[in-house]
Amino acid sequence: MITTTRDTDIREMTTFGLPAECGILIEYTSPSDLPALFAEGALNNILPLGGGSNLLFTTGRFAGTVVHCADRTITFGQPGADGIVEVEAAAGVVLDELCALTCGKGLWGLENLSGIPGEIGGAAVQNVGAYGTEFKDVVAKVHCFDTVSGEYLTLDNAACRYGYRDSVFKHLDQPNTLLVVGVTLHLTTLPSPSLGYAALAARFAGASPSTLTPGMLREAILTLRDGKLPAPSQAGSAGSFFKNPVINADSYDKLQRKLNKPVPGHVLPTGDVKLSAAWLIDNAGCKTFVAGGARVWQQQPLVLVNADGNATGADIVALENAIRTVVQEQFGISLEPEVIHIWA
């Protein structure tokens, strides 16, 4: 079934809670609805919308067509001899609800992504990640609809070209012409806790993997998130606003010599070093920055918030630009936003 409305207020469909309106809002309940919807080629300037947890509507109005999947179907396969369980999830499934469900079934793979807002379709596009795990780690296939050819496509993990908060879906010749309609995930019944994140390693120090459950890690991660990130009732946000910048080893050494102090960094398999954007923002003195109704969240400077519920997209952009300017001036590092900006 397809539902269409015009000039629709979609503020409540985003986590920032900023003024947001679209020219046309289309919601579909089954991928089989899509061929007829795009058959005549009448729709253009399309924006797929999941949970709206990674979008910034900068002007308050998007004149184009927002497409939202209302399909929340989940199916579970039987465990194979290797412990792998195939899970099919529609694009409209809420990611954290799937995390809770799979942890409750004792399946490993999604537990470190607990608490991340948004829906499965957006997770597949953004390659969301937290606490040492990325969505790509469990993706076997991504099922799509090509709005140009009218065909259904299935991309395996390699074809998705996943990177840090990146995927092939962000680099299409014609933006947003591949709509994610669902994913196939490979989870496992075999104990496989990911404890690379320091706080998790400390929390479960000395514990044998066989004594842990996905639910135990989920509970620990939700506690960590609650200590750093605002609840929606406290302030609207899009979670981590900036990507952690990656620089080469030589630049990292030069930065530490310039500052004459250690700079937190994680050495990647390539030899490059991933820096903490939160540390850069904090040490640049940006934690107190305010722009209109927008400010930096004190418990986690990587997060920009709609502090009083009255911020605008322009306020967030002004705050973002102020932070990027100071970090560039002080450290010679350009911060790249993780949040997708919608300009018109």
Give 193-208 pLDDT, tens digit per residue.
Answer: 999 988 999 999 999 9
| CA pair distance 334, 290, nearest whole angstrom | 20
Q: Own/partner pairs for 36-39, CB < 8 Å, 24+ apart?
A: 36/2, 37/2, 38/145, 38/147, 38/150, 39/150
Q: Residue holding tokens 């030069």?
A: 254
Query: Which one of 114, 119, 240, 324 is the catalytic residue?
Result: 240
Give 225-277 pLDDT, tens digit per residue.
Answer: 998 899 877 899 999 999 999 999 999 999 999 999 999 999 999 999 999 99
Query: Which one of 114, 119, 165, 218 is the catalytic residue?
Result: 165
Query: Following CA atoms 228, 109, 242, 68 in sequence, which dihedral angle do they give, to the nearest 10 degrees?
Result: -110
- The token pair at 271 is 């030899």
Does the annotation count 240 as an active-site position? yes
Does the annotation count 40 as an active-site position? no
| Percentage above 70 pLDDT, the chain | 99
Contacts of 242 (CB under 8 A, 6+ apart): 277, 281, 302, 323, 335, 336, 337, 338
Give 1-33 pLDDT, tens digit per residue.
Answer: 899 999 999 999 999 999 999 999 999 999 999
Domains of the chain, with CATH numbers? 2-69 (3.30.43.10), 74-228 (3.30.465.10), 236-342 (3.90.78.10)
What does pTM read for this prediction?
0.91
Q: Residue holding tokens 């195939």?
A: 86
CB count within 10 Å of CB 185 equals: 23
Does the annotation count 72 as an active-site position? no
